Structure 1
Amino acid sequence: MRPLLSLIAAGIVLLARSAGAEPLAAADYRLETVHVPGAAFAGLARDGGSLLVTDLAGGRLYRRDEDGRLAAFGPVFPHGLDVTGDPTGPYRAARVGAEFIVAQGWTPANVDENPLDHSLVAVDGAGKVRVISRDFWNPFDFVAAEQGFYVVDAARNSVELVAPDGRKKTLISFRRLPQAEGALQSLSPTEFEAGNGYEVDAVPTGIALHKGRLYVALFGGFPFLAGAGKIISIPATGASEPRLEADGLNAPVAIAFAGTGAMLVLEHGTYDQRQGFAKGSGRLLRIEAAAKSRATIVSGLTRPVSVLVWDERQLRVSDLAGNLHLLRRE
């Protein structure tokens, strides 16, 4: 028998419901979870009537059609584990015109560098690859616009504007984030003494363009303190100081906007020094700025990566355990 992923790549196998406990959706949402063993789903985008998915475990792009089947296409991108043990590969992808644009992560550990590493790449309908720019350290997400692509470089702590011809301009470089005095004492009372200041890298991850402003999720660097994440925004021109949109977040990793204008924020979860990101600690939040309210759409997620607004009533969420969470508002 052929391996499951090779059957999926051939478009043969229907996805099955994931085994075990399911995440919990809000009362006005119906949740269905489908699971592919061995996959590590990351980027989500719409491609006509199909769902575009990136898989870090195999370095592939997939389409999920209305019948629920996944079919691989395009090249096999460099993939593997990075120096922290997390998967790296094609983080995000989106159809832009006749091409698919891919944000490809940094070089996997213990692997020779590849010409596609840490790059923004275009793939045409025949599968031919064109590198737009390799002038990144770790391009984690992007959004397409008329003037090019807004790309977050998670390792450089910056947002870059990349023209279609590859010319690049830094819109903003994020300062390190100060942590509350004594916040780290629960990790190490002797190393992090009360009264000592501490800062972490901003680590920008998700990005969204809404009403002329770029919204950026600041994940916050190691040790990934609970409540240390933020959402900021800047004009798409980058010509002003960032504006705080939300704080007190647990490692926010992706942003989207609903048709009503509400901001959807996907939290990767809370971190434990011994076990890593805690199972079931991820959440999808709905934040209404005007009403100053927050509501949880779905909780109990484990290492989620992307959120996609499919239409007025449906959302999609991916995670590194090979799950696609399909949410429908009743």
Structure 2
Amino acid sequence: MRPLLALIAAAAVLLLAGSAGAELVATAGYRLKTVHVPGAAFAGLARDGASLLVTDLAGGRLYRRDENGGLVAFGPVFPHGPDVIGDPTGPYRAARVDSELIVAQGWKPTDADEDRLDHSLVAIDAAGRTRVISNDFWNPFDFVAADQGFYVVDAARNSVEHVEPNGRKKTLISFRRLPQAADTLQRLSPTEFEAGSDYEVDAVPTGIALYKGRLYVTLFGGFPFLAGAGKVVSISTGGASEARLEADGLNAPVAIAFAGDGAMLVLEHGTYDQKQGFAKGSGRLLRINAATKNRSTILDGLIRPVSVLVWDERQLVVSDLAGSLHFLRRD
């Protein structure tokens, strides 16, 4: 194990905004500090008592960040490596649920053999033993715990699934493909898309949150990841044939959380260029007013962000694939 990732003193890596290679801009009223770990690819964030729980796709590990700022690896090494499009796959999300840690493990890395933990929802007990709750997924990207099990987004199946503790699974909704404006596609590639032609992309559900009895889901939108094609929708916990639109015009939204006042916090992965991929520094954390739907940017300039966590009424945490944890504290 690399010593740098095994244990990191906060004083050694607590950096000013922008030090990890992007010009980060926090809105007025927030103070920003960034912890950067070279070689890491941080993904899931959750609170585990007084500790911050973090998943790292680069090493397939779970980490705890204690009150003193140290990052300590624990538990098993999960399957990890590049997926079919070259992005990292591994333990996408983790959360404390009663006496166990629950992990959403992504699909099989392209350069690895089949593993029982691939594309699964996994429980880890206090002794570090793993138990597969269900591996009947294609790419479980995020989940939220509920009284009768878990609500899981399967990004590859374009669905939201309800999974009981015994592994029994029920599909709550399968998202339809998202139609795209023909003129937008024609401007993107005039030789590939003719003017006036129709085009649809997969919905690609990513983040999920449970708020006031409804499930809120970010729809990332499939390739070619058009600017403004992403959405946030909601469904009842009992399932629905149609989802209710909550926000649209988003740039690859990847995660969602709710502030104490009910505002939606939506994390945009960024804008995409077919030659260069997702533009460096194009990720944003947005705040969307529940009543008026007005939007404001809390944090701009992120490099491929993945998760947002409401730590308490004053502090937010954002992770990214560039190996950074961003701590936003309201003055």
Match of 2:220 in 1: 219
Q: Deviations over 1:26-54 (max 9, x none)?
A: 01111101100000000000001110000
Inter-CA distance 225–95: structure 2 relative to 1 (3 Å threshold)? same
Contact 1:15 1:69 in 2 (8 A): no
Inter-CA distance 22–48: structure 2 relative to 1 (3 Å threshold)? farther
Distance (Å, rounded) in 1 between the aligned partners of 2:183 and 2:75: 49
Give yes or no for the alignment of 1:9 onto 2:6. Answer: yes
Distance (Å, rounded) in 2 between the aligned partners of 1:11 and 1:301: 22
Q: TM-score, structure 2 length as denominator?
A: 0.96
> Alignment partner of 1:43: what SS?
strand
Distance (Å, rounded) in 2 between the aligned partners of 1:289 and 1:127: 40
Aligned length: 327
Contact 2:7 2:70 in 1 (8 A): no
Show the 5 A alignment for 1:105-144. Answer: 105-144=106-145
Distance (Å, rounded) in 2 between the aligned partners of 1:19 and 1:199: 36
Show the 5 A alignment for 1:153-232. Answer: 153-232=154-233
Inter-CA distance 178–62: structure 2 relative to 1 (3 Å threshold)? same
Match of 1:307 in 2: 308
The residue type equivalent to 1:38 in the other structure is G
Distance (Å, rounded) in 1 between the aligned partners of 2:163 and 2:155: 15
Q: Deviations over 1:148-185 (max 9, x none)?
A: 00000000000000000000000000000000121111
Distance (Å, rounded) in 2 between the aligned partners of 1:191 and 1:132: 43
Contact 1:16 1:36 in 2 (8 A): no
Segments of structure 1 that go 5 or more residues without pairing to the other structure are: none
Contact 2:81 2:111 in 1 (8 A): no
Shift in Å, 1:208: 0.2
Inter-CA distance 21–133: structure 2 relative to 1 (3 Å threshold)? closer
Distance (Å, rounded) in 2 between the aligned partners of 1:8 and 1:276: 27
Q: TM-score, structure 1 length as denominator?
A: 0.97
> Alignment partner of 1:182: what SS?
helix
Shift in Å, 1:245: 0.0
Match of 2:47 in 1: 46
Distance (Å, rounded) in 2 between the aligned partners of 1:177 and 1:101: 31
Segments of structure 2 that go 5 or more residues without pairing to the other structure are: none
> Alignment partner of 1:185: what SS?
helix
> Alignment partner of 2:3: what SS?
helix
Distance (Å, rounded) in 2 between the aligned partners of 1:57 and 1:20: 19
Distance (Å, rounded) in 2 between the aligned partners of 1:202 and 1:260: 29
What root-mean-square deviation, in Å, do the aligned CA atoms of Structure 1 and Structure 2 show? 1.3
Inter-CA distance 7–33: structure 2 relative to 1 (3 Å threshold)? closer
Contact 1:56 1:89 in 2 (8 A): yes
Match of 2:27 in 1: 26
Contact 2:99 2:126 in 1 (8 A): yes
Shift in Å, 1:19: 4.1
